[in-house]
Chain A
Amino acid sequence: MEPDVARPMFDTDELVINMGPQHPATHGVLRVVLKLDGEKVVDADVVIGYLHRGVEKLSENRDWTQIVLLTDRLDYVASAAANLAYVETVEKLLSLEVPRRARYIRTILAELQRLASHLVWLGSHAMDIGAVTVFLYCLRERELILDLFEEYCGARLTYNSMRIGGLPQDLPPNWDKKVLQFCDIQLEKLVEYETLLTHNRIWLERTKGIGVISAADAIAVGLCGPPLRGSGVVRDVRKDEPYAAYAEMEFDVPVGTNGDTYDRYLVRLEEIRQSVRIIRQALGGLPEGPVMGKVPRLIKPPAGETYHANESPKGEIGYFIASDGKSTSPYRLRVRPPSFCNLQALPQLVRGHLVADVIALIGTIDIVLGEVDR
């Protein structure tokens, strides 16, 4: 659809309306100030910060190990991914060797987390557009993942599931069998979601051609993760800068062609398949050995700075950490939040579309305000 904002049929004034911060479809406390011409969006201004808790400032006053807890509360539907990115950055600063078994288990946890996050995304995105059934289906499978996480680390949402140098504990007995069982269920149920949505006429009309962004624009505006791949850019941190055990895994990076909401949907569904594939490989080749490396009792990385990126379910999550080599907390810790960088593209995406499409577009970029605002 070609955006056509220039010619109003009647001589009307532009109308400014507020969407959010209390709005069920903004996934938290996002406020979007929309400038409308009739029902078409002329411009949008995104107002964020309602959930700002100063995680970066807090980190400068906490021990290195305590910060894992803070990272849980960034993207609270994918906290294991944030844990992993943080501990890997500190391990990079410390030049620590992580045991191979720990790297495999981390990969499994990260992929389970990706599944859980994508299921929440699919459910809420579909519900925003009007397909409420999908939400119930997705949460049903997500519940199984949360049970697996609960069995592993005792928590269902904020896992604190990684340690600097390894993992807090080894896998519980029979956990791997349950995960494999879950993988079968997930693939089976994925077909159900696809039956409900992929060829559904309403779904197609609401998502095809909505929020088109070209590959060049997507790169320039800093999109990352599935929205970037939906525009056809083959960019996945797991492939390009492998971490954990991804270098030893075989998986494909799905990309879209049109860069619209429908393609971003297809990319994420395919990612669910690829995640199951990675989990099965990692469980099949799970090496024996310890899950914790040789970590000094007092963690005090030498003075220096580094940036390390991971592929979280939302996109590239990175940590820039400066250590002064003297204190037991980071001198400066910066989170590169994928949701924040993706949200920046929202005004560009919504221009020329209808108000109802704004809801679909907030859904398609998959934001979690805990991470946007930090």
Chain B
Amino acid sequence: MADTENTDPAGEKPAAVPSQAPAPKPPAKTPAAVAAAKVEKAPPPPPGPPDQAAPADVSVPDYIQALQAALPGAVTQVSYWVGDWTVIVATPRLLDVAHDLRDAAGAKFDYCSDVTAVDWPTRAGERFDVVYCLYSTSLRHRLRVKTRVADGDSVTSVSGVWAAANWLEREVWDMFGIRFAGHPDLRRILMPDEWQGHPQRKDYPLEGPGELILESPQEWLKLRQSFNEAEIE
């Protein structure tokens, strides 16, 4: 890996040594040790997003005020940053909020642009942010809805509200391991079905697991083949 070579100070020394004599290599580091060394060097990530409050001279749009009036207590926080409005919603109320945002006269968020998640492993309590990017094709405004969820907990699926969320939620499940309750077809989408782990989590190594394939290829093959046969039947 180019990265580890560049950051490894021992990697630059062999250039001065005559090319015939191979320089003594430092003891091989395990990927975990390299990762740990990197983490020590880099400043620790913050435990969560800043979710800046709106400045005093920016007024909260009507559709957020209407949402707060229609569903008191559902919106726990309103945030504004570089022109984007975000509402942070209590997870149990998510479906109500989604229905209200889609159907309310002043909101009409009929288009779900994107569903994604952000992993904040050091945050106390809820580890993940699930982010919904909404757009209204008739009123032409945008809103982001965010909800926080702990590892192992599930979020209510909004694929019944916006059909577009179907695959997007599948991807969030695949990449983060967040379950969506009530999703019609919650399978992995980008990774193979027998994949272990969820790659976009911060504690998932960049170079992949690699262990099962390298250590016991037979077992890995067996796992794969058993899966393929089940699929054909």
Contact = CB atoms under 8 A, between A and B. Distances in A.
Interface in A294-316: 303-307, 309, 316
B42 interface: yes
B147 interface: no
Contact of B114 (A57, A219, A305, A320): A320
Contacts of A320: 114, 116, 131, 133
A247 to B, nearest CB: 14
A322 B189 CA distance: 23
Given A54-B199, A95-B82, A235 B113 contact: no
A219 to B, nearest CB: 5
B43 A326 contact: yes
A241 B162 CA distance: 22
Contact of B137 (A219, A332, A344): A219
A1 to B, nearest CB: 23
A261 B174 CA distance: 32
Nearest to B201: A57
Nearest to A62: B3
B63 interface: no
Contacts of A170: none
Contacts of A222: 111-113, 162-165, 168
A314 B225 CA distance: 37
Interface stretch (A157-165, A190-198, A333-341): A333-341
Interface string A153-196: 00000000000000000000000000000000000000000000
A220 B108 CA distance: 12
Nearest to A326: B43
A340 B110 CA distance: 19
A334 B49 CA distance: 15
Contact of A306 (B82, B167, B175): B82
B206 interface: yes
Contacts of B50: 303-304, 325
A2 interface: no
Nearest to A327: B42
Nearest to A336: B114
B144 interface: yes
A233 B119 CA distance: 35
Given A92-B82, A304-B50, A305-B86, A373 B190 contact: yes
A318 B113 contact: yes
Interface in A39-59: 48-49, 52, 54, 56-58
Interface string A217-247: 0011110000000000101000011000000
Contact of B191 (A52, A316, A325, A344): A52
A61 interface: yes
Chain A's interface size range is: 35 or more
B140 interface: yes
B61 interface: no
A61 B166 contact: no
Contacts of A341: 164, 167-168
Contacts of A241: 140, 142
A93 interface: yes
Contacts of B167: 340-341, 344
Contacts of A235: 111, 137
Nearest to A216: B110
Contacts of B137: 219, 233, 235
Contact of B46 (A92, A95, A303): A303
Given A240-B140, A307-B144, A318-B113, A327 B163 contact: no
Contacts of B206: 57-58, 61
A324 interface: yes
A35 interface: no
A243 to B, nearest CB: 12
A341 B189 CA distance: 13
A331 B84 contact: no
A118 interface: no
A73 interface: no
A101 interface: no
A89 B216 CA distance: 44
Contacts of A373: 190
Contacts of B45: 324, 326-327, 331
A321 B191 CA distance: 22
B206 to A, nearest CB: 5
Interface in B100-133: 110-114, 116, 118-119, 131, 133
B81 interface: yes
Interface of B: 3, 42-43, 45-46, 49-50, 52, 81-84, 86, 110-114, 116, 118-119, 131, 133, 137, 140, 142, 144, 162-168, 175, 188-192, 199-200, 204, 206
16 contacts: A48-B189, A56-B175, A57-B206, A95-B82, A219-B137, A222-B162, A222-B168, A303-B49, A304-B52, A305-B81, A306-B81, A307-B113, A325-B46, A327-B42, A334-B114, A344-B164
A-B pairs with the 10 shortest C-beta distances? A222-B164, A49-B190, A336-B114, A334-B116, A304-B81, A52-B190, A344-B167, A332-B118, A326-B43, A220-B163
Given A61-B206, A334-B114, 15 more contacts: A56-B200, A222-B112, A222-B162, A240-B140, A303-B46, A303-B50, A306-B82, A306-B84, A307-B133, A320-B131, A327-B43, A334-B116, A336-B133, A341-B168, A344-B167
